[in-house]
Amino acid sequence: MRLRRTLVAAAIAAAVAATTAAVFPGAPPDRLAPMPALSAPALTARYTADAHRIARAAKAASRAGNTGLARSLYAMRGGHFLDFSPAGQGLAVEVFGDLATATRVAILVPGSDTSLATFGSRGTASPAGGAAALAAQARRLDPRARLAVIAWLGYPTPSTLSPAVMTSGDAGEGADALRPFVTDLARHGRQVALICHSYGSVVCGLAAGDLPATDIAVAGSPGMDASSVRALHTTARVWAGRAAGDWISHVPHVHLLGLGFGQDPMAPAFGARIFACGSGGHSGYFKPGGIALRNLAYIALGDPAGVTR
């Protein structure tokens, strides 16, 4: 039954990707826009411009008869988007909180089967829903914290049932986009934490080398394309967590002929700091009330003492 549901989900994801390409034919590859000045006026201008882009994309999807994509895009119009493009598989970078006054920024890097159509449509299992839940949990833990949370779909994610999901090709593209994004935030004086889910942890692993981040946390990770924390060449605190009901625990941790992502980040030999995630499943790490979300919020806040094992 689980395999059947997975096959159906993958087929739907493939259909959505194909329809998105049909709605925006001839679109160039996804590229992130340069970071604006992190002042209130500059950010407001960027948010307004991207709201107009989202509205135009929603109308185009509606005219093309893609009601699911159109519905998702219309729902995105009220958000604060630092970046948006319907080109290719699409990209979206949404900010939760006041980025102009934030001293810390947590970036949620999602995994496979993430697209514009699913950016906010799966509750806390989607980047937007997960980032909103993380920001809300952080506010409950420390109402005075100057934290912004970013839902970052800055790369073309692979399909769960495609061969690409077992290679680091798409993750490499993601790392190439994530690295300058984090560097720009740090250059503007922000401390950055990466919160990386599933295949997104491969992206974070490839981007980690000398990255100006204080923390890198992976949840439900198939591996970080590295043998150990030392091999990541990072000064950041590296965290790893996996829920007891997460199917990713059954994925072989190998790195052979370009397949697989190496050592399990949960293994003692990897050297990560372990955080508790409870008994949930692969999509439940940002579920409100869960220990996983609470621990991820402490990591986002830069408060390692609050994290439980």
State whether residue 259 is helix, strand or coil. strand
Q: Which domains does the chain have, with CATH numbers?
A: 2-306 (3.40.50.1820)
Closest CA to 95 of 41, 39, 155, 147: 147
Residue type, 166: M
Decide: 20 and 69 in contact? Cβ < 8 Å.
yes
Cβ burial, residue 132 (10 Å; 0-12/13-18/19+):
buried
Residue type, 83: D
Give 134-180 pLDDT, tens digit per residue.
999 999 999 999 999 999 999 989 877 777 767 878 899 999 999 99
Q: What is the mean pLDDT of the chain?
A: 89
CA neighbours within 13 Å on the CB side: how many for 65? 2
Residue 103 has pLDDT above 70, yes or no: yes
Give 269-299 pLDDT, tens digit per residue.
999 999 999 999 999 999 999 999 999 999 9
What region, left, alpha or beta, does residue 194 occupy, with left being phi > 0 and alpha being psi -120 to 50 degrees?
beta
Record the pTM: 0.89
Helix axes 127-141, 291-301, angle to 10 degrees: 70
Give 231-276 pLDDT, tens digit per residue.
999 999 999 999 999 999 988 877 665 677 889 999 999 999 999 9
Give 40-59 pLDDT, tens digit per residue.
999 999 999 999 999 999 99
Decide: 12 and 72 in contact? Cβ < 8 Å.
no
Mean pLDDT to the nearest integer, 175-192 = 96
Residue 25 has pLDDT above 50, yes or no: no
Residue type, 296: L
Q: How confident is the model at residue 258, as a pLDDT?
A: 67
**Per-residue exposure over 226-255, b if at least 16 CB sit within 10 Å of its own CB, e if not:** bebbebbebebbbbbbbbeebebeebebee
Tokens 């009330």, residue?
A: 289
